Amino acid sequence: MKETLRYLAGIAGPSGYGSKSTAQQVAQNCSCSVDPRRLTAIITGATSGIGAETARVMAERGVRVVIAARDLKKAAQVSDRIHKDINPNAEIMLFQIDLSSLASVKRFCSRFLALGLPLNILINNAGIFSQNLELSEDKIEMTFATNYLGHFLLTEMLVEKMIETAEQTGIQGRIINLSSVIHSWVKTDCFNFNQLLNPNKYNGTRAYAQSKVANILHAKEIARQLKARNANVTINAVHPGIVKTGIIRAHKGFVTDSLFFIASKLLKSTSQGASTTCYVALSPQAQGMSGKYFADCNESNCSALANDEVVAQRLWRQTRALIRGRLKYQKPC
């Protein structure tokens, strides 16, 4: 009850921010010693909602922003708005990526790495919600393929560049996985890897929640590996809050109109939803924090399943084996 009241009232937590804080406020108050113009950030799914707002706020501060998007036309519109309304000198690069396709993710990484640019921040933001069962081109359930598998491969292919950049610049690299409080709905006995790939009985809400558990487990395991290597790169998961985005509109199908009306009164604005991502990506207060779960710009508690190191390691091994097996039989990009 106390946490609910804190959320509704927007009371700030230990970080000085709360549920009502905006991405703009967080970014402006980041009195970090690092010049944002020295930073390069990749943001997936930055064509609308939280992703677009994150790109806007970072570009305003002078961060070089790489928008990795499925729809380049929409990405160009976001870039044009930033140049027109926010920062005419913003350095924004647009790349096509379909996170549900392992081949597309591999192609994007190859093209980005070929540029020889540094990489300080990776924001695994893109996400979908599908009410009906759909399969990706790799014959994997679409929500899991897009929200988790694609970002897993993206991170694996870019993490060495991030470690290298951190070593060369002395600036800590930061990876952020977008998750959701809905991850806590998933129980251990319902988290089976083979069923995640090809469920016998599909439920859109369950599939979305399972992908969000996987995002946290991924952050936990990669954080462990990075720490073991003494790498100056962190990875964390964030819950943006329940935000007025396209995913929420898609979710409307599983609640009654009256419940949605009540819930809508608790929704965050897009800028409030992007605040936690910007906090973990930019704030000096988040320096050195890794393998954590954040909500409302403060460290928070995730479910017992999402915090299970054994499950996290097993999921990582299963995912890596799956991806390597699928890529082995694909034609070179």
pLDDT digits (tens, 9 = 90+) for 76-119: 999 999 999 999 999 999 999 999 999 999 999 999 999 999 99
Residues in the chain predicted with pLDDT less than 70, given as ranges, are 1-10, 31-33, 244-266, 329-333
Going 290 to 152 to 208 to 54, the CA torsion angle's sign is: positive
Q: What is the pLDDT of residue 37?
A: 84
Q: What is the pLDDT of residue 55?
A: 98
| Residue with tokens 């598998």, as numbered in its chain | 149
Q: What is the pLDDT of residue 32?
A: 61
Q: How many residues does the chain have?
A: 333
Assess contact for 278 and 222: CB atoms under 8 A: no
Assess contact for 151 and 217: CB atoms under 8 A: no
Instruction: Cite the active site residues.
Output: 202
The DSSP bridge pattern shows strands 92-96 and 173-178 to be unpaired
Tell me the three state secondary structure of residue 171.
coil
Q: What is the pLDDT of residue 1?
A: 46
Distances (CA, A) of 260 to 19, 62, 172, 273, 332: 20, 38, 41, 18, 46
Q: What is the pLDDT of residue 255?
A: 47
